[in-house]
Chains A and B, each alone.
Chain A
Amino acid sequence: SQTIHQWPATLVQPVGSPLSLECTVEGTSNPNLYWYRQAAGRGLQLLFYSVGIGQISSEVPQNLSASRPQDRQFILSSKKLLLSDSGFYLCAWSVQGAVETQYFGPGTRLLVL
């Protein structure tokens, strides 16, 4: 069966510090991968998606970046965090070419102080 992992679960970082959130998927090959951000009490905002290694599409301009160094690994990064980067970050995967759903990881709660 497929599983998706995210870490860390919770992170408190000062403004201006770097960020690296990791997401890995097991049990499937060549998935589409997604990073979402959810502000407190709000819906999900798609940040990045990837259809393959090294292929990243950005939906919203910001000071975040994403990379996909391996087929089932998706990393969200920032060189300098802003207060507005606080939120709940969710990674998701879906099967390429299939007409089916996204499956979400457990999420990372990020608080920038």
Chain B
Amino acid sequence: AQKITQTQPGMFVQEKEAVTLDCTYDTSDPSYGLFWYKQPSSGEMIFLIYQGSYDQQNATEGRYSLNFQKARKSANLVISASQLGDSAMYFCAMRLTSRGTYKYIFGTGTRLKVLA
């Protein structure tokens, strides 16, 4: 079965600390992409970071990094130096190829609260 699992419904982190949000995925396709999105209370989905299945290096974008462990099928998001504005829902997603186009599967999300 193709799915994304986020086991942490909610997380707290102290401001300026680092936090890791867990994501595991399941697919037998050799080619796939992994994404993290941030959804603030306003509702829009904001793209954070992308990792391709063939990428050798872990992706990084500013304070965001993706800890990609292919053998374990995990793609955890690490946020360094947390800020109050990081408080939001975070979704892990997987892109697969289906019938000549892409298909996206999302996890159920993790709600992060940054404490002052």
Interface of A is mostly: strand
Chain A residue nearest to B47 (CB atoms) is A101
Interface size class of B (residues with CB under 8 A): 20 to 34
Report how many residues on chain A are interfacial, defined by Cβ distance under 8 Å. 27
Asked if A106 meets B104 with Cβ closer than 8 Å, knowing A43-B109, A44-B91, the reply is no
In whole angstroms, how far apart are the Cα atoms of A59 and B104 in the complex? 11
Residues in A neighbouring B103, C-beta threshold 8 A: 46, 49, 59
B44 engages A51 (CB within 8 Å): no
Asked if A102 meets B43 with Cβ closer than 8 Å, knowing A43-B109, A44-B91, A57-B99, the reply is no
Q: Which 9 A-B pairs have the closest CB atoms?
A: A104-B45, A44-B106, A43-B108, A43-B106, A107-B43, A101-B47, A51-B101, A106-B44, A43-B109
Q: 15 extra interchain contacts, Cβ-Cβ under 8 A, other than A44-B45, A46-B104?
A: A42-B108, A42-B109, A43-B109, A44-B91, A44-B93, A49-B103, A51-B101, A59-B103, A99-B33, A101-B47, A102-B35, A102-B104, A104-B44, A104-B45, A106-B44
